[in-house]
């Protein structure tokens, strides 16, 4: 049986800010020095996080893709051939 998690939850500890598919026992122990049952009993169950899809779309509109690497010169130029030769000599 496969469990598909379709939401994100926020740790109930005050001012923690940790989010994830689940709040793990490891997070509770390392970040708050408590067991998960103890944390949930004291601060309540994790709350679901809702996403603003309109803000997400606006962020993506302004996103600029990085330029591809090695576009400074064509690979068949003399400079490119010299660079390849010098790199292959360094490997030896």
In this predicted structure, what is the pLDDT of residue 77?
Answer: 77
Between CA 69 and CA 55 the distance in angstroms is 30
Instruction: Identify whether 46 is part of a domain.
Output: yes
Is the residue at 89 inside a domain? no
Residue 87 placed within a domain: no
Name the residue among 68, 80, 8, 13 with its Cα closest to residue 40. 13
What's the confidence (pLDDT) of residue 91?
Answer: 66
Which tens digits make up the pLDDT trace of 51-77? 777 777 777 776 666 666 665 666 777
What are residue 49's phi and psi, to 5 degrees?
Answer: -100, 130
Is residue 85 assigned to a domain?
no
Range of the domain at 6: 1-52
Asked if residue 1 is part of any domain, the answer here is yes
Domain count, the chain: 1
* In a domain? residue 59: no
Structure tokens at 3: 């469990």
Would residue 7 count as lying in a domain?
A: yes
The mean pLDDT of the chain is: 80
- 8 in a structural domain: yes
- Which has the higher per-residue pLDDT, 33 or 91? 33
């Amino acid at each position: 049986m496969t469990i598909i998690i379709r939401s994100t939850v926020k740790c109930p500890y005050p001012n923690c800010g940790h989010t994830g598919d689940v709040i793990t026992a490891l997070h509770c122990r390392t970040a708050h020095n408590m067991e998960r049952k103890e944390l949930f009993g004291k601060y309540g169950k994790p709350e679901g996080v809702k996403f603003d899809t309109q803000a997400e779309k606006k962020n993506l509109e302004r996103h600029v893709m990085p330029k591809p690497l090695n576009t400074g010169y064509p690979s068949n130029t003399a400079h490119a051939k010299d660079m390849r030769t010098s790199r292959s000599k360094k490997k030896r």
